[in-house]
Amino acid sequence: MRTLLITGPGGSGRTTVAAATAHAAARGGTRTLLLGTDRTDTLGAVLGVPVGSEPVEAAPGLTARRLDADAGFRADLAALQDRASSALDLLGASRLDPEELTPLPGAEELALLRALRDAALPGAYDLLVVDLPPAPRALALLALPEELRRCLRRLLPPERQAARALRPVLGRLAGVPLPAEWLYETAARLDLQLAAAEAVLADRGTAVRLVAEPGPAGADAVRTAALGLALRGLRADALVATRVLPEGVEDSWLAGPVAQQRKTLEEWRETYDVHPVAHLGRDPRGADDLAALAVPGVNAGPATVEWSVTDSRADDGVLVWHIPLPGARREELDLIRRGDELLVTAGPFRRTVPLPSALRRCTVVGAALREGELRIRFRPDPRLWPRTR
């Protein structure tokens, strides 16, 4: 199944574009599931059909539903308390009633990751269209599986889990209690779930699409969003420019906004696959308005970008790691090496990435940003690099 993730700055019309894209796919015979993430029913307002947590047929071949983070949070809490029942009883702790709680921060993101994982399983749909939150939250969501898995591996390294059978003996020898069995089991279960969500994001059938209104604010938001995607090894398959005003209005008060939009669109076309969507003169509502928007179809191209390593030892004695970062600025970049990992900061985004095996035996000797690509130079460490005869 293909997955299309749609995001953009708040108020850019991303929900409308998501609904129009899903509607167009369904009209073309593709069995489509449209997933909304807003707590309010903004999706239903665009489709003209109320959309709740239960699937509803919004049009022939199109099913829509919204996430219910509250129910997922309560179910997870109940399951966690059941698994930790012995520890809670030992401490004399009173169990929490799931019905009395509201979701904690992050519950919506975890619910969406679970929905992505479940929807990607073979089933009744050919296409999943997800109306992601506004770009800043969406980028944090896309980073969540990798970051949580990295934290789990640091807190409970897999190689140490082999000693679980010796836990009572080790506890007596160390004089301190060691993690309980349920903690290891919970960590392993969560790691599998996160790995499944991460696989969906990295799948060749998954695409990310940006939506923005052409103008100075939209241009800044698109640059930032594209940079955040690139740092995660992702790229937008298309940029949908919304609410584009008609040309030929030089004598009206719209001449200024039209010229501004024209300039932004020309700049975007140098970098992105841009699809202008005309302003209807009203808020789109219902099937006819969604069809009139003429949004682009779903491409089959991959959303991932390869971070390649070139061998320049014969010429310069170095290996070069190429990291595409379109829109990055030199003053916003920072690099820190920690063991076999590299901490990369680009603007407001940060990512810790493991070094390729060849580069782990090298030292960093320099870096440069050229034509939207970060090039990090590594020199082989004679103490670690295999000698040639």
**Residue range 97-156, pLDDT digits in tens:** 666 666 666 677 778 888 887 776 667 788 999 999 999 889 988 888 888 888 888 777
Residues 190-217 have a mean pLDDT of 86
| Helix, strand or coil, per DSSP, at residue 375 | strand
**Into which CATH architecture does domain 2-69+104-292 fall?**
3-Layer(aba) Sandwich (3.40)
pLDDT score of 83: 62
Q: Please, what is the average pLDDT of the chain?
A: 83
Q: Which residue has the higher pLDDT, 57 or 183?
A: 57
Q: Are strands 236-244 and 62-66 parallel, antiparallel or unpaired?
A: unpaired
Separation CA 383–CA 389 (nearest Å): 16
Which are the contacts of 86, defined by CB distance < 8 A and separation ≥ 6? 180, 182
Is the separation of the CB atoms in 107 and 69 below 8 Å?
yes
Tens digits of residue pLDDT in 43-71: 989 998 999 888 899 999 999 998 876 66
pLDDT score of 120: 65
Using only C-alpha atoms, what is the Rg of the chain?
A: 25
Q: Which residue has the higher pLDDT, 167 or 378?
A: 378
pLDDT confidence band for 176 (50 / 70 / 90): very low
pLDDT confidence band for 205 (50 / 70 / 90): confident
CATH of 308-380, one of 3.40.50.11610, 3.60.20.10, 3.40.50.2300, 2.60.40.790: 2.60.40.790
Residues 335-344 have a mean pLDDT of 92
| Helix, strand or coil, per DSSP, at residue 142 | helix
pLDDT of 157 above 90: no
For residue 125, report the phi and psi dihedrals to the nearest 5 degrees. -125, 150
Q: Which residue has the higher pLDDT, 159 or 37?
A: 37
Q: Which residue has the higher pLDDT, 205 or 35?
A: 35
pLDDT confidence band for 371 (50 / 70 / 90): confident
Residue 100 exposed, middle or buried by CB count within 10 Å (0-12, 13-18, 19+): exposed
Residue 346 exposed, middle or buried by CB count within 10 Å (0-12, 13-18, 19+): buried
pLDDT of 167 above 60: no
Q: Which residue has the higher pLDDT, 217 or 254?
A: 217
pLDDT of 337 above 80: yes
Strand (E) positions, the chain? 2-7, 32-36, 56-59, 62-66, 127-131, 206-212, 236-244, 274-278, 308-312, 318-324, 333-338, 341-346, 349-354, 362-370, 373-380
Indicate the domain borders of the chain. Answer: 2-69+104-292, 308-380
Minimum mean pLDDT among 1-5, 87-91, 293-297: which range?
Answer: 87-91
Tens digits of residue pLDDT in 270-300: 989 999 999 988 889 988 999 999 898 887 5
